[in-house]
Structure 1
Amino acid sequence: MLLSDKVAVITGAGPGLGRTLAVLMAREGADVAVAARSADVLAGIAAQVRAEGREALAVPTDIADPAQARRLASAVIDRFGRVDVLVNAAFPGTHRKNVLDMDDAYLEQWRSAVETAAYGTLLACRHLAPHMVAAGRGSIVNITSMSSRTGYAGRSDYAAGKAAVHLLSHCLADELGPSGVRVNCVAPGWIASGVLDDWMRARADAEGVPYEEVRARDVAAMALRRIATEEDVARAVLFLASDLAAATTGATIDVNGGQRFT
């Protein structure tokens, strides 16, 4: 198995990609620690990891809080004694609003969103990467986005947060490489989900056309003519986390069905 007897930590482990990734890593032999704000969601993910025959640790965490990020690292080391893989996927759900339409409350929400993505990723790396450095090995995979290099109206918080993580990953790759720790990114495009379907339906309603027409138009713009799934993204993360990518650092794998070439 690709992660046999390794310890993986996933921050931002929500009910979508985070859950899929945790289960996949467990099937590939890893014990998994999951961190997010929702204790109930984490408990469900941990149960699925244990159902795969691996150990699980659920640590409710606001990863942008320095004390909680430090507590997460301590909990992982106390339980497992080491960390081999760190996946940072935390980013809060956001609404779509143009910059000139933001009131004071939304401006604060913007700041919080970017802080969760960028500062939260920094804190997770700051407190967990030293254990990788001490071991002389490890892999950090940061989930960015197609939006980390292409901005869209109404999505400045998402784009800014993901772009910060993208370049932070380059800096960390340069800093940690001499110690045997690799740092890479996976940049999804659209991921098949109910949220994406709802957005397509909203666009169809605004245009006065059927949902199927909007979806077909979007898919036709992708080279592979299909929308990526959570499993597609998780497998790219798994590759970078594993020894198959032993000579890869500072890189980004785009998983967008050919919606954008980079």
Structure 2
Amino acid sequence: MLLEGKIAVITGAGPGLGRTLAKLLRDEGAAVVVAARTAATLDQTAAEVPGVLAVPADLTSIDDVQRLAGTVIDRFGRVDVLVNAAFPGSHRKNVLDMSAGDLESWRKAVETGGYGTLLACRFIAPHMVARRSGSIVNITSMSSRLGYAGRSDYAAGKAAAHLLSHCLADELGPYGVRVNCVAPGWIASDVLEEWMRTRAAAEGVPFEEILARDVSAMALRRIATEEDVARAVVYLASDHARAVTGATIDVNGGQLFT
């Protein structure tokens, strides 16, 4: 098992990718702590991934993140892996069409993606520095380098985490702490399928036509799964990547080459 004996913290461990990350890291031998804002979400994760320690935390709150770090250290004495995966869903609105409420949603999204990632690193990384060992993996996105209309909140938040990772890799490298990114493209999910079906309906064509058109733009002719993304995280978290820092692994089926 690639992570046997390691202590891993996952922020944003809600439905979908966060839960898949928790399961795979646990299956690879890590003791896993999951954090998210909503207690009900964490309860569901804990029910589906037995053995994880669930800690409710608003990742944009200094007090909450300090409490999260303290809880982990009190329980395990150290942190070996930090995976930052928290991000609210995009509401798909063009900038010039945004209402006051939309602007506030934009601010909160970018705050979660950028500032939330910063806080988790700020209060958990010192425990890695003290041991001169650790791996931080930030889940960014293809959108951190390629913006789309209506997704400026998502792109800006992910871009903040992406460049923050470069800065932290430079700052923490001398202490043996690695910082990398995994950047998914589209991930197979009910949400993605619903979006494709909406586009198909708008164009008056079958869903299968939209799916085939989208997949044909990917070199591997397949849409990545949550497990595909999680396995890239496991690699960067493991000792197999001990000489890798400041890097980004793209998991997009060849939709975007970088």
TM-score by length of 1: 0.97
1:33 aligns with 33
Code of the residue aligned with 1:30 in structure 2: it is A
Question: In the superposition, relative to structure 1, how do residues 106 and 64 fare at CA in structure 2: closer, same or farther (>3 Å)?
Answer: same
1:14 aligns with 14
CA distance in 2, matches of 1:255, 1:111: 27
Within 5 Å, which residues of 2 pair with 1:87-236? Answer: 87-236=83-232
Code of the residue aligned with 1:133 in structure 2: it is V
What is the CA distance between 1:192 and its match in structure 2? Answer: 0.2
CA distance in 1, matches of 2:135, 2:48: 23
Instruction: Give the SS at the match of 2:136.
Output: strand
2:74 aligns with 78
Instruction: Give the SS at the match of 1:231.
Output: helix
CA distance in 2, matches of 1:205, 1:258: 26
Deviations 1:55-95 (A, max 9, x none): 42101111011111111111111111110000001100121
CA distance in 1, matches of 2:49, 2:205: 42
CA distance in 1, matches of 2:98, 2:27: 44
Are the counterparts in 2 of residues 221 and 259 from structure 1 also a CA contact under 8 Å? yes
Q: Structure 2 stretches of 5 or more lacking a match?
A: none
| Larger CA deviation: 14-23 vs 183-192 | 14-23
CA distance in 2, matches of 1:161, 1:234: 20
CA distance in 1, matches of 2:98, 2:40: 32
| Larger CA deviation: 90-99 vs 173-182 | 90-99
TM-score by length of 2: 0.98
1:4 aligns with 4
Deviations 1:172-213 (A, max 9, x none): 000000000000000000000000000000100111111110
Code of the residue aligned with 2:7 in structure 1: it is V
Within 5 Å, which residues of 2 pair with 1:51-66? Answer: 55-66=51-62
Instruction: Give the SS at the match of 1:249.
Output: coil
CA distance in 1, matches of 2:140, 2:80: 20
Code of the residue aligned with 2:42 in structure 1: it is L
Deviations 1:134-192 (A, max 9, x none): 01100000000000000010000000000010000000000000000000000000000
Give the number of equivalent residue pairs: 258
Code of the residue aligned with 1:258 in structure 2: it is G
CA distance in 1, matches of 2:221, 2:124: 39
Instruction: Give the SS at the match of 2:158.
Output: helix
CA distance in 2, matches of 1:105, 1:43: 30
Instruction: Give the SS at the match of 1:222.
Output: coil
Q: Structure 1 stretches of 5 or more lacking a match?
A: none
Identity of aligned residues (%): 76
Instruction: Give the SS at the match of 1:33.
Output: strand
CA distance in 2, matches of 1:47, 1:128: 25
CA distance in 2, matches of 1:71, 1:94: 28
What is the CA distance between 1:121 and its match in structure 2? Answer: 0.2
